Amino acid sequence: MFNFANLPPLSLYIHFPWCVQKCPYCDFNSHELKNTLNEKAYIDALISDLEQELPLFWGRSISSIFMGGGTPSLFSPESIDRLLSALRARLTFAPDIEITMEANPGTVEPGKFNEFNAAGINRLSIGIQSFSDEKLKSLGRIHGRKQAIRAAELAHDAGFNSFNLDLMYGLPNQSIQQAIEDIETAMALEPEHLSHYQLTIEPNTFFHHQPPVTPDDDMLWEMQQACQSNLAKHDYIQYEISAYAKESYQCQHNLNYWQFGDYLGIGAGAHGKLTHAPEQKITRSWKVKQPQDYLNKAATETRISGQKTLSREDASFEFMMNVLRLNNGFATELFQQHVGLPISTVEKALKQAEDKGWIHWDIKRIKPSETGKQFLNDLLELFIPD
Ligand SMILES: C[S@@+](CC[C@H](N)C(=O)[O-])C[C@H]1O[C@@H](n2cnc3c(N)ncnc32)[C@H](O)[C@@H]1O
Ligand code: SF4
């Protein structure tokens, strides 16, 4: 039986499923916008979706909001303002709430970021991917180097508390030097946060059917190490496999995911995870994926495409799968707080991991070791339920 004394922090994820054009590597729930965007209908749907979930979390405050996609910055500042006003009227925002919006440099015009900021967005995350015109072209991006730099400059000056740049490495025909140049250009734009993802070829993408030539594993490793030490030299502290931040600028929303916190998910295909104190259980749920289907169903129960209650084994494994991505691991007491079970539930696997030198374990904290990070999949396998 689970035993939750207190509930974990609660975040809100809002999905915006449209983009100007679908990138050939992307397997997110994002769809090329073929007709005019009916902003009003989608914002109404989001509000209606949220309203039906309110009884599930009465009395709990929201610690962070993340508007992701897709491309939320396709929406006008007026629509985002209306959405945030509706959220404020229905939810209790934590005083230091972090509110992030993802933006694509190809959807930015001067003044727009300032208006998003005035509406209440306090953190921006820009999908740069690369600063090389040649690489951007091979990634099918709708913007070039100039627009990418311009977007970061506008974000810098728009009044946000902080902003993030997303970069990818391991790009078609990319050299180590080119990957480092992208990092250096990014750092010169002074973002407080940088996400550095290895390009992965996902099933059901154009690249899966027509794979580009990408660097081999040895080169990828060298590339990642070179970029990481360059970032470290400039005080960007790596706190997760792909996430780097200046001190105290870690993304609170993603940290809550990685610490197995709770989150509501509204919008097409959005996932949620909630701890229910009265029933002492954890559930996951997900909304219908296709944007038009979601619009049709948002006002009814049928907006929920599926849900499940986690078993003790699922909850323990999912916790480990998330927290071991963090360089600093987790405080041992967090296991009881967020999984509702004693740490002894995973003691056998933890001992095996310690024997193999994959974790450091003291009374207060458990963290992955350097080898543990390098062989993360092997480490996580130890926690897979029998
Ligand atoms: C949902 S996208 C949001 C940003 C925005 N849609 C854009 O692309 O400008 C989040 C980030 O995931 C990363 N990403 C997407 N597909 C990826 C892939 N196949 N491999 C690695 N990173 C990927 C990109 O860096 C992207 O900016
Ligand atoms: S713009 Fe972003 S979300 Fe849209 S297709 Fe490209 S990577 Fe995916």
pLDDT digits (tens, 9 = 90+) for 247-268: 999 999 999 999 999 999 999 9
Contact 381, 375 (CB under 8 A): no
Establish whether residue 214 lines the binding site of ligand 1, counting it when its CB lies within 6 angstroms of any ligand atom. no
Q: Report residue 121 as tokens.
A: 């967005």
Nearest-angstrom CA–CA distance, 333 and 351: 17
Q: Pocket residues for ligand 2 (CB within 6 Å)?
A: 19, 22-23, 26, 28, 30, 69-71, 104, 127
Show the DSSP H helices in the chain as ranges.
39-53, 77-90, 112-119, 133-138, 145-157, 176-188, 206-209, 217-233, 252-258, 291-297, 312-323, 333-339, 347-355, 370-374, 376-381
Contact 376, 316 (CB under 8 A): no
214 has a pLDDT exceeding 90: yes
Quickly tell me which residue has 């197995």 as its tokens.
260
> How many alpha carbons lie under 13 Å from residue 74 in its C-beta half-sphere?
25
Establish whether residue 202 lines the binding site of ligand 1, counting it when its CB lies within 6 angstroms of any ligand atom. yes
Atom of ligand 2 nearest to the CA of 26: 8
291 has a pLDDT exceeding 90: yes
Centroid of ligand 1 to alpha carbon of 27 (angstroms) = 9
For the chain, what is the radius of gyration of the CA atoms?
Answer: 21
Establish whether residue 25 lines the binding site of ligand 1, counting it when its CB lies within 6 angstroms of any ligand atom. yes
Q: Which ligand is nearest to the CA of 24?
A: 2
Establish whether residue 182 lines the binding site of ligand 1, counting it when its CB lies within 6 angstroms of any ligand atom. no
Q: Report residue 271 as tokens.
A: 């996932």
Q: Which residues is 14 bridged to in the sheet?
A: 67, 266
Which residue of 33, 34, 104, 136 sits with most ligand 2 atoms within 8 Å of its CB, as the best mutation to test the pocket? Answer: 104
386 has a pLDDT exceeding 90: no
> How many alpha carbons lie under 13 Å from residue 29 in its C-beta half-sphere?
18
Mean pLDDT of 356-379: 96
pLDDT band of residue 274 (cuts 50, 70, 90) is very high
Nearest CA, atom 1, ligand 2: 19
Nearest-angstrom CA–CA distance, 6 and 326: 23
pLDDT in tens, 62-90: 999 999 999 999 999 999 999 999 999 99
Percentage of the chain beyond pLDDT 90 is: 97
Q: What is the pLDDT of residue 52?
A: 98
Atom of ligand 2 nearest to the CA of 69: 3
Residue 220, sorted as left (phi over 0), alpha (psi -120 to 50) or beta, turns out to be alpha
DSSP 311: P
User: What is the helix, strand, coil percentage profile of the chain, to 5?
Assistant: 40, 25, 35
pLDDT band of residue 313 (cuts 50, 70, 90) is very high
Q: What is the pLDDT of residue 110?
A: 83
Sign of the CA dihedral 142, 147, 148, 151? negative
Which residue of 183, 197, 244 sits with most ligand 1 atoms within 8 Å of its CB, as the best mutation to test the pocket? Answer: 197
301 has a pLDDT exceeding 90: yes
Centroid of ligand 1 to alpha carbon of 161 (angstroms) = 22
Atom of ligand 1 nearest to the CA of 23: 8
Atom of ligand 2 nearest to the CA of 25: 7
What's the chain's average pLDDT?
Answer: 97
Task: State the Cα torsion 32-34-39-43 to the nearest 10°.
Answer: -50
Establish whether residue 254 lines the binding site of ligand 1, counting it when its CB lies within 6 angstroms of any ligand atom. no
User: DSSP string covering 167-232, please?
Assistant: EEES-TT--HHHHHHHHHHHHHT--SEEEEEEP---TTSHHHHSPPP---HHHHHHHHHHHHHHHH
Q: Which residues is 158 bridged to in the sheet?
A: none
Nearest-angstrom CA–CA distance, 84 and 359: 42
